[in-house]
Structure 1
Amino acid sequence: MFIPEYQNPVLLQRADPWVYKHTDGYYYFTASVPEYDRIEVRRSQTIQGLAQGEVSVAWRKYETGPMSANIWAPEIHFIDGKWYIYFAAARTTETQDGLFDHRMFVLENASANPLEGEWVEKGQIITEWESFALDATSFNHNGTQYLVWAQKDPSIKGNSNLYIAPLANPWTLGAKQVMITTPEYEWEKIGFLVNEGAAVLKRNGKIFISFSGSATDYNYCMGLLWADENADLMDPASWNKLPEPVFQTNEANSQYGPGHNSFTVSEDGKHDILVYHARNYKEIVGDPLYDPNRHARAQVLSWDEDGMPVFGVPVPDAKQEAKA
Structure 2
Amino acid sequence: MLDDPQVLTPLIPQRADPHLTRHVDGDGRARYFFTASVPEYDRIELRAVDAWQDLPRATPRVVWRKPDAGRWSELIWAPELHFRQGAWYLYFAAAPSREIVGGLFQHRMYALRNRSPDPMAGDWEFLGQVDTGIDTFCLDATTFEHRGQLYYLWAQKDLAIPGNSNLYIAPMRTPWQLAGAPVMLSRPEFDWECRGFLVNEGPSVLHSHGKVFISYSASATDENYAMGLLWMDEAADPMDPASWTKSPVPVLTTSPTQPVFGPGHNSFALDEDGRTVLLVYHARTYTEIVGDPLWNPDRHTFVKHLGWTADGMPDFGDAGLA
Query: TM-score if structure 1 supplies the norm length?
Result: 0.93
State the match for 1:125 in structure 2: 130
Q: Is the 8 A contact 2:263 2:319 kept in 1?
A: yes
Whichever residue aligns with residue 233 of structure 2, its letter is: D
Deviations 1:32-59 (A, max 9, x none): 0000000001111111111112421110
How many residue pairs were aligned? 313
Matches within 5 A, 1:52-71: 52-71=57-76
SS at match of 2:192: helix
Q: Is the 8 A contact 1:166 1:173 kept in 2?
A: yes
2:147 is the counterpart of 1:142: yes
Matches within 5 A, 1:1-324: 8-23=9-24, 24-92=29-97, 100-315=105-320
> For structure 2, which runs of at least 5 residues remain unmatched after alignment?
none
Q: Distance in 2 between matches of 1:133 and 1:300?
A: 30
Q: Percent identity?
A: 54
Q: Is the 8 A contact 1:5 1:300 kept in 2?
A: no
Cα shift at 1:147: 0.5
**Higher RCO (C-alpha 8 Å, min separation 6):** 1
State the 4+ residue runs in structure 1 displaced beyond 4 angstroms.
4-7, 95-99
SS at match of 2:60: strand
SS at match of 1:215: coil
Whichever residue aligns with residue 14 of structure 2, its letter is: Q
Q: Distance in 2 between matches of 1:289 and 1:111?
A: 34
Q: Is the 8 A contact 1:7 1:48 kept in 2?
A: no
SS at match of 1:230: coil
Cα shift at 1:252: 2.2
Q: Distance in 2 between matches of 1:105 and 1:5?
A: 39
SS at match of 1:26: strand
Q: Is the 8 A contact 1:299 1:315 kept in 2?
A: no
Query: TM-score if structure 2 supplies the norm length?
Result: 0.94
Cα shift at 1:128: 2.6
Superposition RMSD in Å: 1.7
Cα shift at 1:310: 0.2
Deviations 1:41-85 (A, max 9, x none): 111111111111242111001111111111000000000110000
